[in-house]
Structure 1
């Protein structure tokens, strides 16, 4: 079975490094984008198996990028998991409304991340 390809969209080098390390250690192939617009473009181009989306980014934020991906027929089937420091219930509800399949709060626990990913990849 081919390794699942996960796109990480995050403007923090530290978070990018942490998430990449967790995913690669578990055998995932990692694609990276450092802002929302780049993430949307890369998702359209590469069709990853899932997207880990930060919220607070310059330009197009994670909510807007998630909405674009979930509304576009080409990328609507790609599950988006929001991974953010924003832990308000309203943010979670809003994230789900934009089309996110799940919502994790940073600092994200490796176990939780991998379980959540396995679930969304199964559909």
Structure 2
């Protein structure tokens, strides 16, 4: 019988992690995602998670910066926080949805406020989906990959 060793456990897990990353990289197909949040922690975390799985990420700290970046780089998807200084996520989403050059970019709004009314308004102003904070890695990829696949099919 083989003796249990901690290093055997780690090497086995890291192989699984590499396979998962490899699969996601193929699905990401070089897609670009704009992450918009006034929290540096959220920006850093989402950027790191998405880049580890093969996505190119752009970041913005507020709504106006997000609008300018979206018009310049045309990302495949936008993850937009709701509450930010200056132009908030609702207004930025409405502006992007009404602009011909950015209206085709799917927007997933994010908020720590878990109210059904907020989700209702998100869809009403042009966002495609909603992500509650705090979120798990699996939640992020489930939403992101749904819209990236749709864009690749179209």
Matches within 5 A, 1:1-40: 2-40=29-67
**What are the within-5 Å matches in structure 2 for residues 102-113 of structure 1?**
102-113=129-140
Following superposition, which runs of at least 4 residues in structure 1 exceed 3 angstroms of deviation?
A: none
Contact 1:7 1:33 in 2 (8 A): yes
Kindly provide the CA deviation profile for residues 19-47 of structure 1, in whole angstroms up to 9, marking residues without a partner as x.
11110111100101100010011101110
Compute the displacement of 1:77 (Å): 0.5
Higher helix proportion (structure 1 or 2): 2
> How many residues were matched structurally?
123
TM-score by length of 1: 0.96
**Is 1:57 matched up with 2:80?**
no
Q: Which among 102, 117, 121 is matched to residue 144 of structure 2?
A: 117
| Residue 57 (structure 2) pairs with residue 66 (structure 1) | no
- List alignment gaps of at least 5 residues for structure 1: none
| Larger RCO (CA under 8 A, 6+ residues apart) | 1
TM-score normalised per structure 2: 0.77
In the TM superposition, residue 121 of structure 1 has moved relative to its aligned partner by 1.6
1:61-115 deviation line (CA, Å, top 9, x unaligned): 0010011111111001100001111210000000111111110011111111111
For structure 2, the 5+ residue unaligned runs are 1-25
Indicate the structure (1 or 2) with the bigger Cα radius of gyration. Answer: 2
SS in structure 2 opposite 1:30?
strand
